[in-house]
Amino acid sequence: MSWTWQRERAYWAGEIPRLLRGGIWLIALLFLLSFLSMFHVVGVVMNALIAAVPLVIVVRRILAARDFDGVLDRRWQRKMTKWILGNWLGLARSLRLEARGPQGTPIVASCGKPTWQKQTCMLPVALPPGLVRENLVNVTGHLAQAFAASRVSVVGEHLGRLALRIEYVDVLARPFTLPLGLPWDGRTVVMGVAEGGDQWWLPVGPHTLVAGSSGSGKASLVWGLLLGLAQPIHQGLVEIWGIDRKGGMELAMGRDLLTRFADDAAHSVVLLEEAVAQMQKRARALAGITRQHVATPDSPTIIVLIDELAALTAYETDREMLRRANAAIATLASQGRAVGFILFACLQDPRKETLPARGLFTQTVGLRLRDRMETAMVLGDGAVAAGALCHEISPSTPGVAYVLSDSGTAPQRVRAAFADDDQIREAALTYFAPNPKPVIVPEATAEQDTTAPRRPRTRGPRKTQDNKEES
């Protein structure tokens, strides 16, 4: 960072107290040496000490300039560490993080030595017997206010290894972009940034359901997947079969990245049913050879990407189309993973009535949702208790989400990268799919058109009680 008066003042605000503390010891030393001033050597030492003071100040300032930000951060960290440790006991008692011991004496939750990574503090916490992880999760909001932090979360699953992540700057607060053409490891795709500043890698294998209210950033997840897989798409290792039931409003701009594309009910259902047919064909070909598909140009991983899934599974007015779409989605979700057919679907309404096959999606991403009930629908009650609060995500941070993987680990707070129109166009132009295939809706055959209509059923006379008595 460049030099500013504000940063210079911050440096001297911490430096002056340190110089004063050192000055007190220097004055005390000079006072003692003054009793021996009759010796010439002592007088020389005293003069040297006095002359060294400005030199030390100048040298310290020159050394600090080599890592000015680091100096300021370390001073701030020491100050906050002292404040946190000094106030923890009273804070834990006021938040009732205590339990009764065998003799009835209160045992308060204790904390260890904080460790810092820039402006994020990891504070180990030991809970007394009788308290559980949820007790600590429930007071994270109070702890954030007490520590003047932007966010506090609980890290770890076992009681003996719990820690508080105290963030004074939320790394997910600002939007960002990712470069195009990142290499693919065959298993995961980089989508954005995770809590703590590390890259967020989303496993590609599990069927993924993304749920979020309007404006929550579902497009960031869609384009994060497409742009993150741009290189394997261009190499033919991955095919994206896209369905956009908003008339192509979202996916049409990057259509060249898609091997197949549908934007209405008829084409969408045909695309899904052809995916099922190819999945079953591949399964028969791999039977007895391998139990796990490996992507190659001749046998690519096929990702069926569906935007506005509910338009297919719940809102479609044609009952036959609705039935066929739900059947195809359930078949793909239950049988596709091992043979390299993956579902990645987005919707706004996570209710079971909207998506009957919701339980077959083993990896879920919860963006901003309306209430705690919707959060539990997407991530489960256990995830909510673990601190995944999708209903508390700010509308000003689209793309922030909680991810619940199929590995059983705690939900991870992440933010997907933002992709603007220019980046999407560049990706479509540079990393286009090599073998696009149209989706063709078969026309009804003449035999089907001339099929005789079914004879309407006629009801016979109802038996009345009088008829029964006569018989």
CA distances from 445 to 59, 270, 468 (A): 90, 16, 50
CA atoms of 405 and 423, how far apart (whole Å): 28
| Structure tokens belonging to residue 441 | 């809706």
CA atoms of 134 and 351, how far apart (whole Å): 26
Is residue 176 over pLDDT 70?
yes
> What sign does the dihedral 245-249-250-255 (CA atoms) show?
positive
Mean pLDDT of 374-401: 88
CA distances from 11 to 1, 69, 121, 343 (A): 14, 10, 21, 54
| Structure tokens belonging to residue 420 | 């603007």
Cross-strand bridge partners of residue 122: 115, 165
pLDDT of residue 33: 73
The percentage of the chain sitting over the pLDDT mark of 90, rounded to a whole number, equals 52
C-alpha count within 13 angstroms, C-beta hemisphere, residue 91 = 19
CA atoms of 358 and 321, how far apart (whole Å): 19
Indicate the DSSP class of residue 237: S
Angle at the Cα of 373 from the Cα atoms of 367 and 379, rounded to 5 degrees = 50
Reported as a single tens digit per residue, the pLDDT across 244-286 is 988 888 999 999 999 999 999 999 999 999 999 999 999 999 9
pLDDT of residue 59: 72
Angle at the Cα of 346 from the Cα atoms of 184 and 182, rounded to 5 degrees = 15
- The residue type at 196: G
CA atoms of 445 and 432, how far apart (whole Å): 36
pLDDT of residue 7: 66
Going by C-alpha positions, the residue among 329, 323, 362, 364 that lies closest to residue 346 is 364
Neighbouring residues of 183: CB distance < 8 A, sequence distance ≥ 6? 231
Reported as a single tens digit per residue, the pLDDT across 135-145 is 898 899 899 99
pLDDT of residue 382: 80
pTM, full prediction: 0.77
Reported as a single tens digit per residue, the pLDDT across 432-442 is 999 999 999 98
- The residue type at 353: E
Going by C-alpha positions, the residue among 69, 172, 63 that lies closest to residue 118 is 69
Residue labelled with tokens 């904080």:
114
CA atoms of 355 and 317, how far apart (whole Å): 15
Is residue 459 over pLDDT 60?
no
Mean pLDDT of 390-413: 90
Mean pLDDT of 63-75: 70
Is residue 164 over pLDDT 90?
yes
CA atoms of 204 and 191, how far apart (whole Å): 11
Neighbouring residues of 58: CB distance < 8 A, sequence distance ≥ 6? none
Is residue 384 over pLDDT 50?
yes
Q: Where is mean pLDDT largest: 122-126, 387-391, 443-447?
A: 122-126
pLDDT of residue 89: 92
Structural contact between residues 215 and 274, judged by C-beta atoms closer than 8 angstroms: no
pLDDT of residue 470: 41
Is residue 27 over pLDDT 90?
no
pLDDT of residue 3: 63
Is residue 443 over pLDDT 90?
no
pLDDT of residue 469: 42
Structural contact between residues 233 and 182, judged by C-beta atoms closer than 8 angstroms: no
The percentage of the chain sitting over the pLDDT mark of 70, rounded to a whole number, equals 89
Is residue 23 over pLDDT 80?
no
Residue labelled with tokens 């959060």:
375
Q: Mean pLDDT across the chain, nearest whole number?
A: 85
Q: Where are the beta strands (DSSP E) in 328-378?
A: 341-347, 363-366
